[in-house]
Structure 1
Amino acid sequence: MSTNTLSTAAVTAPETPAPIRPTAWLAVVSLGLGIFTLVASEFLPASLLSPIAADVGITEGTAGQLVTATSLIGIIGGPLVVSALPRVNRRWVMAGLTTLAIASNVLVALAPVFGLMLASRLLLGIAISGFWAMSLAVTAQIVPADHLGRAMTIVNAGVSLATIAAVPAGAYFGELLGWRAVFLLAAGAGVVTLAAQLATLPSIPPTGAPGFRTLVQTARTPVVALGILAIVLIAGGHFMGFTYLRPAFETIEGLTPALLAILLVVYGVASFVGNLVAGPLADRRLQVLVIGAPVAIGVSTVLFALVGTNLTLAFVTVFVWGVGFGAVPTMVQTWIARVAPERLESAGGLVVAAFQIAITIGAAVGGLLVDSVGVQTALIGGGIAVVLGAGVLSSARVRSPR
């Protein structure tokens, strides 16, 4: 082990970090705005399934594949974008991915048939996974290493805000203007985002030697492979339970539709809080975050399974669950930046692919458990998987940000 490698327990940032230019923070905010616009576009169909199905002449289940297609393409989209554009300035790559999302929303709004809508959503999946995969490496070139956690908190705030706002906003504007107008509004938000990125992002040359060979070499690095396994366990365990929150909520005594909506808002707000807390911790006490966030998810899901029929305890456990998972993206991205600082683009692509695989596996395994045993078993199994992932991730050794 080289002398610049420390255990995660010893990783701390300098007490007085060097100041960062305001223009750098504006560039980071533009990346967060990009994530918000892309993720909000991903979730829009969830609030518009009925009018889309009625207009195009399909079932609501078929219309739901507009969300599935976007997620599935993300498994290959992130690594593909990172590997296929080894020499293009990253400023133009990020702007190009935002443009791809704009085009996707416009095509969905104008599509006369479902097949074209589905193909358009595949473009959005590539844009989301590619943008998210590149955001770590791009942010790392904008801010110093000892500020990376806080910068990624700003970027990932877009996910939390989109999760809270996209579905209710889509439902409201869909009733007011029609579902096609909602996608045109999303395209307009993309244009604003693109303008912000072009105004604030500096010229950003590619880092390292990205390409398919580098991607494979990065994936075969033992510590990176260990991290990918941990991500699949943590995110997969989370989605084993999270995917089936609705049937889990139905076991709560005295839960009305209004309280259900409030419970979902509580989770969304908690996720945003977790993201805010994650940045400073990731920069100064990464090991605390690596253990604390997954353990919070694991303990809260198990407790929810055991005592979730009590309304008060359900609110408490769901809040803790949201805080824990809200911290996970920043935690994972900061961790991977410490173990593979020379290959951030390839590592970022692998992280995005791992998350998409985890979502697919977690939802599938959770569904089997829900159907065969019960939703409580899915929650408990997911909680155990998350805690195991924390153990795997904390066993690795990472570099100091200095």
Structure 2
Amino acid sequence: MTFKDTSTQGAAWGAVLAMSLCVAMLIASEFMPVSLLTPMAEGLGATTGQTGQAISISGLFAVTASLLITTVAGTLNRKGVLLGITALMLVSLVLVALAPNFTVLIIGRALLGLCIGGFWALATAVIMRLVPADDVPRALALMYGGQAIAAAFAAPLGSYLGGLFGWREVFWALVPIVALNLMWLAAALPSLPAEKRGDFGSLLAVLRRPYFARGLLAAVLSWGSAFMMFTYLRPFLEQVTQVDVTTLSVLLLVLGGAGFLGTWGSARLIGPRIAPLLKLPALVMGACTILLLFLGGSVVGTAILLAIWGAMNTAMSVIWMTWMSRNVDDAPEAGGSLMVAGVQASIMLGAVLGGLLLDGISIQAVLAGSVALAVAALALIGTGRGLLKPNQTTAS
């Protein structure tokens, strides 16, 4: 596979930065309900658990989009596809901000899910075309820096501004930023003609590879554990840590700010040996979640644990997508589609199971469920060597 088009020589890093901002907007849009869960539920006349399902709805449509995007997009230039996805994100934000009831909110979230699935399915393959192979981990870390930005500022600002002005105004504030991002992408992305038409056959061919199927399931469990805890973090902080809106915003800022450290560190941590790193996200984040069950009543203890959790959360994306880029480098769009479908399925898994546990048992049960998924991921990953393609095992 050719990792870099010769036509992108002068535009590559500008395009990566524009994609990083797009990532920030997607993440902010997708998980803003986490910081606004309680007021959104009150405003729409729904339970907190039901409103949490708005995240699972976007996940459902993201799974569908990630599996269909390469087939539906066919031979379309990937630049045009990414611009269309960003424009659709703009529409979804307007719908959510205007939503008079829960049904319209779900429609807006469904459109956002299509954006999320389509973008992420193509993102790693596009990055692999924008930079040389040796720079892919650094470019991925830069792109996922957008995730760190969103995690650092979207949730705490959403919580704080939502308390001052209302949750609808928070979503309106994202609209002009996405519009500017659309213009930047149009200017910075080079032409990216489709290399070949994707189909379900190519997806199945990649999925039949035992090492990839095993790794995909491990990634689903790892992300599922993370999202079960993260989706219902606000209720935990309100009920167990007993924080007010200001302290809540500070804690979310601590969690998100630590994401910059995770992004920076992952770019330097990843070398030729990826296998030993695959278990770190489930191990570290699972341990933090266990400790929250015992130390969650302390604001200081919670802040420290959320900082560690936040750093590993952003590192997890870089670690797993680097694994994908090295082990499915002959079919990056198919591999990316399956990875995104798996991650979005894990978001649904976390949001749905967490909502049921929250409404049916308690917030502590949500964290216990998160730990159980992390343990399952660790058992599947083992040393990580079984998740590598044959010619990678000697350099694991």
TM bin (shorter chain):
0.7 to 0.9
2:52–2:351 Cα contact (<8 Å) kept: no
2:222–2:281 Cα contact (<8 Å) kept: no
Q: TM-score, normalised by structure 1?
A: 0.81
TM-aligned CA distance change 1:380 to 1:207, over 3 Å = same
CA distance in 2, matches of 1:380, 1:53: 26
- How far has the Cα of 1:282 moved from its partner? 2.8
Residues 220-279 of structure 1: CA deviation (Å, up to 9, x unaligned): 222221111111221122234444445655786x76435544333222222232122112
1:1-400 equivalent positions in 2, closer than 5 A: 23-46=11-34, 58-59=45-46, 61=48, 65-109=53-97, 115-170=103-158, 182-246=170-234, 249=237, 256-257=243-244, 259-306=247-294, 308=296, 312-366=300-354, 374-375=364-365, 377-378=368-369, 380-391=371-382, 393-398=384-389
CA distance in 1, matches of 2:302, 2:95: 41
Instruction: Give the SS at the match of 1:341.
Output: coil
2:150–2:256 Cα contact (<8 Å) kept: no
CA distance in 2, matches of 1:384, 1:88: 42
Instruction: Give the SS at the match of 2:278.
Output: helix
TM-aligned CA distance change 1:386 to 1:83, over 3 Å = same
2:151–2:255 Cα contact (<8 Å) kept: no
CA distance in 1, matches of 2:16, 2:228: 32
1:302–1:383 Cα contact (<8 Å) kept: no
Letter in 2 for 1:187: V
| Poorly superposed stretches of 4+, deviation over 6 Å | 49-55, 175-178
Structure 2 residue ranges without an equivalent (≥5): 1-7
Q: Which moved more, 1:258-267 or 1:71-80?
A: 258-267
Instruction: Give the SS at the match of 2:330.
Output: helix
- How far has the Cα of 1:291 moved from its partner? 3.6
TM-aligned CA distance change 1:73 to 1:393, over 3 Å = farther
- How far has the Cα of 1:188 moved from its partner? 1.9
2:282–2:375 Cα contact (<8 Å) kept: no
Q: Which moved more, 1:106-115 or 1:45-54?
A: 45-54
Instruction: Give the SS at the match of 1:377.
Output: helix
Root-mean-square deviation over aligned CA pairs:
3.3
- How far has the Cα of 1:168 moved from its partner? 4.0
Instruction: Give the SS at the match of 1:342.
Output: coil
TM-aligned CA distance change 1:192 to 1:159, over 3 Å = same
CA distance in 2, matches of 1:251, 1:179: 21
State the structure with more CA Rg: 1
CA distance in 1, matches of 2:172, 2:249: 27
Aligned identity (percent) is 33
1:230–1:393 Cα contact (<8 Å) kept: no
Q: TM-score, normalised by structure 2?
A: 0.82
TM-aligned CA distance change 1:65 to 1:223, over 3 Å = closer
CA distance in 1, matches of 2:356, 2:93: 34
Instruction: Work out the number of aligned pairs and report it.
Output: 380
Residues 99-138 of structure 1: CA deviation (Å, up to 9, x unaligned): 1111222344456665444323311110111111110000
CA distance in 1, matches of 2:95, 2:243: 39
- How far has the Cα of 1:295 moved from its partner? 2.5
Q: Which moved more, 1:43-52 or 1:135-144?
A: 43-52
Residues 197-222 of structure 1: CA deviation (Å, up to 9, x unaligned): 11111111224541122112222222
